[in-house]
Structure 1
């Protein structure tokens, strides 16, 4: 497939919907801590979702989204509010992922050229669309100003997505949205609230998930209850395109400023 218009239409169908309706991707998995020369540790269960909608604009689409993820006890699955850090032996407050917004523009001809996503056939009727995103930029939390919470002045990480869909679904013009399964791996620095300072090492996230047929209503009841108690706006996607996007680092920085 090398037609940018067809590729963008298919991507919107698998990632969201052509009908400008809210779509939810749910995921669950585990987070591991890796330090050179030290036994790797499973630290958390990780569970969350992205709720989004695609809005057509001149030359493409705006993708309006926000996302939630919660850190859970790796044995019981309980959503954590406090956590005993096994590396420092100190108890810290857990700061869950409340990223709002997480918006993008997807254009037929954007700053990087025609719209394209790598696609690999993995069966007679299955395609894998992959996004390998490597991030390197100045950290919002500098070592000088936030020595307890910052590992490095440079944020470096990788977000590795794989979306699995049926070719026949994508080619069916009567379907504005198609079933889709997700694999997601993330490699990144220590989270600020872990209070790991500049200790060497990193976190590895391994999750899997899928598009929910009935959106928000299909989320696990305990996750919906937690969202509705703490941040009920995450029941629906944003309605306007705004920037900058929120990350765990910028969100944590705002919490510190409020304190």
Structure 2
């Protein structure tokens, strides 16, 4: 038998799977997203990011390329899977595909420093039953194609309030939408000798303006659209310029977190940017109305 994790939930079935049984359904999803051997899983996702401007023409702002690395383990005490993950996304010139460090914002005319998405970590908990991410998950089958549709819409207190961060924050409520279509081969998922099935995910995201854009007073939002793949050959499947950039600047993102630190440790663009803004304000004696990302 294939090399599965030593600790698995009661009733674990390596395949064939009955997708209408909650645990089998969850195993199918996690075979796509992770590796039941406990090995790191590498992913790469290229795409685009657009500006949606009410009553105006929408603008292609960036090409994007992201990477993620994950590891799965089962926690018997909580009867849940712990998904340890870190991810980075880089903003690229839409013509040259060069990783951008500075960018002239076409909506403001100002040149700003570009802050990539550096989320370390982005952990998840998949409970066997009960809780937000408990199975079963909605799916469709067409031939050998299995697709899970997972929509995660968030509305919660923003770490950067409008009063304290008027340039960088549009509203006091942090809102975003993550729309995933997670596709794989039914025959792979049903094979008990396969601990990690190949996976393609179509990913869409709706989000507020990024803090580095300094457009807190501007109506509109961002739209991301990417195609994500589990990298069959590991990091050598990345575009060469992306691999080199990560290796030179952010090599920690080539590995999954060593320990599961829980959901409270999670980072996002706003919590990460807030650390930068707060530090620069203190160092330069800047106030809420002052730019910290504009380049003269």
TM-score, normalised to structure 2's length? 0.84
1:71 aligns with 2:80: no
- Answer whether contact 1:16 1:52 (CA < 8 A) is retained: yes
- Following superposition, the deviation at residue 107 of structure 1 comes to 1.4
- Following superposition, the deviation at residue 214 of structure 1 comes to 2.1
1:182 aligns with 2:204: no
The alignment's C-alpha RMSD in Å is 1.3
What is the count of residue pairs matched by the alignment? 258
Q: Which runs of 4+ in 1 moved over 6 A?
A: none
Distance 2:118 2:266 in 1: 11
Greater Rg by CA:
2
Equivalent position of 2:154 in the other structure:
135
Equivalent position of 2:105 in the other structure:
85
In structure 2, relative to structure 1, the CA distance for the partners of 1:133 and 1:228 (3 Å cut) is same
1:237 to 249, 256, 281: 256
1:24 to 35, 39, 42: 42
In structure 2, relative to structure 1, the CA distance for the partners of 1:113 and 1:143 (3 Å cut) is closer
Larger strand proportion, structure 1 or 2?
1
1:249 to 262, 266, 270: 270
1:49 to 67, 87, 90: 67
Distance 1:161 1:48 in 2: 15
1:12 aligns with 2:26: no
In structure 2, relative to structure 1, the CA distance for the partners of 1:255 and 1:162 (3 Å cut) is same
Structure 1: tracts of 5 or more residues without a match: none
Distance 2:180 2:150 in 1: 5
Distance 2:174 2:59 in 1: 22
Equivalent position of 2:136 in the other structure:
116
Equivalent position of 2:290 in the other structure:
none
- Answer whether contact 1:22 1:215 (CA < 8 A) is retained: no
TM-score, normalised to structure 1's length? 0.96
- Answer whether contact 1:152 1:198 (CA < 8 A) is retained: no
- Following superposition, the deviation at residue 74 of structure 1 comes to 0.7
Distance 1:124 1:17 in 2: 24
Distance 2:70 2:178 in 1: 18
- Following superposition, the deviation at residue 10 of structure 1 comes to 1.3
Equivalent position of 1:216 in the other structure:
235
SS at match of 1:110: coil
- Following superposition, the deviation at residue 162 of structure 1 comes to 0.6
Structure 2: tracts of 5 or more residues without a match: 1-18, 281-296
Deviates more, 1:209-218 or 1:189-198: 209-218
